[in-house]
Amino acid sequence: MVTVAFFNLKRQDGAMKQRFFVKLGVIAALILTGCASTGAFSADIAEREELLRPWIDLTGANSGALRGLPSAAPHGGAGYVMLRHPTAVSARGNDVYLVDAGLRRVFRYGRAEQTLTPFTSLAADAGMSVYAAPDMSVYVTDPARGQVLHFAWDGTPLPPLSSPGNLGRPISVTVDEGNGQLLVADALYDQIVAFNNLGRALSVIKPQRVRAISAMAQGPDGIYVVDRLARQVVVLGRDGSYRYAFGAGTLANPGAIAVDRSNLVFVSDNFDQTVKVYREGRLVATAGGAGAAPGRFNNIAGLAVDGGLLYVVDSLNARVQIMLIVPQPLDTKGE
């Protein structure tokens, strides 16, 4: 299926440009995520958004494994699980992993299967984050125990990652695709611990010019660290050396972060309930605002990028909003 569309895109400087593009597979993707609810775009959001457009809401799905889930709601019928308080997300191809602190479970949502199934028997809480690695294994941070849990694709437990004296409150995991090392950000010691693929701690990265680590992502320019105290994002080299920073003056309460392969950086700001989008350190778009309508948020607890989709954990609205990252023409820079 081919969808042809015109969009009026409003840049940060207010100029309007009409762009034409062909989007392949949108209808097919809608079918794959058929259990999620759709919503109409509000006029003010459509006018303001440059790079992000509301697409669908994931609020629940059918499940074939309800045992041990007393909170599974009958609202959607027998065998249906409603999200209650999602707090983290990660996506890799067909698989979307969610931490729901209300249901106290880590779930895997299969886009093709249209199911939301408990991934492990682990009792999850709001402090945990999840990361789907390139090798299809899954990491779950366990801040309370100072370790990172590791699972095979089918949920089989693998040896956890720990480093006494270096990991006290792990909060974020990513893989450095340049060297294959696993990077774990620790909020107690405000440092990053690098592990090899066997789970052995290799080195400790002391980020320069970072006061307090609250989130981390890997991207084309290196390691992106959210410094909540300084209200900015600091980009580091692989050795922790300072490269550049951005967001000061535009971020008031930064939280989650995600970076795509084109170096678009998405940062949540719970001061005004928005997702702010940066490119090369420059603010290029702002999406959202407080509310429950499509494209509005109430406590953004997590972000994840996979392909042309941005997953936004809209925690207090009990949903994960999936947003389209609108393809941008190459001639907009400097216009």
pLDDT at position 238: 85
What is the average per-residue pLDDT within 23-30? 38
Q: Which amino acid is at 334?
A: G
Structural domains of the chain, count: 1
Query: Residue 282 above 90 pLDDT?
Result: yes
Query: Residue 23 above 90 pLDDT?
Result: no
Model confidence over 66-76: pLDDT tens digits? 444 444 444 44
Q: Are 178 and 171 within 8 A, CB to CB?
A: no
Q: Nearest to residue 61, comparing CAs of 50, 69, 51?
A: 69
pLDDT at position 333: 43
Distances (CA, A) of 222 to 102, 177, 225, 291: 34, 10, 10, 34
Most confident of 28-32, 157-161, 175-179: 157-161
User: At residue 316, what are phi and psi to the nearest 5 degrees?
Assistant: -75, -10
Q: What is the mean pLDDT of the chain?
A: 83
Q: What is the CATH classification number for the domain harbouring 19? A: 2.120.10.30
Residue the block writes with tokens 């457009």: 53
More confident residue, 213 or 46: 213
What is the average per-residue pLDDT within 245-271? 97
pLDDT band at 77 (very low <50, low <70, confident <90, very high): low
Query: CA-CA distance, 163 to 201, in Å (whole number)?
Result: 7
Model confidence over 125-169: pLDDT tens digits? 989 999 999 999 999 999 999 999 999 999 999 999 999 999 999
pLDDT band at 328 (very low <50, low <70, confident <90, very high): low
What is the average per-residue pLDDT within 267-279? 97
Model confidence over 246-258: pLDDT tens digits? 999 999 999 999 9
For the chain, the first-to-last Cα distance in angstroms comes to 33
Q: Nearest to residue 69, comparing CAs of 116, 31, 19?
A: 116
The token duo for 327 is 């393809």
Query: CA-CA distance, 234 to 148, in Å (whole number)?
Result: 24
The token duo for 35 is 């259990």
Model confidence over 310-324: pLDDT tens digits? 999 999 999 999 999
Domain of residue 114 covers 2-332
Model confidence over 85-112: pLDDT tens digits? 999 999 999 999 999 999 999 999 998 8
Query: CA-CA distance, 269 to 289, in Å (whole number)?
Result: 10
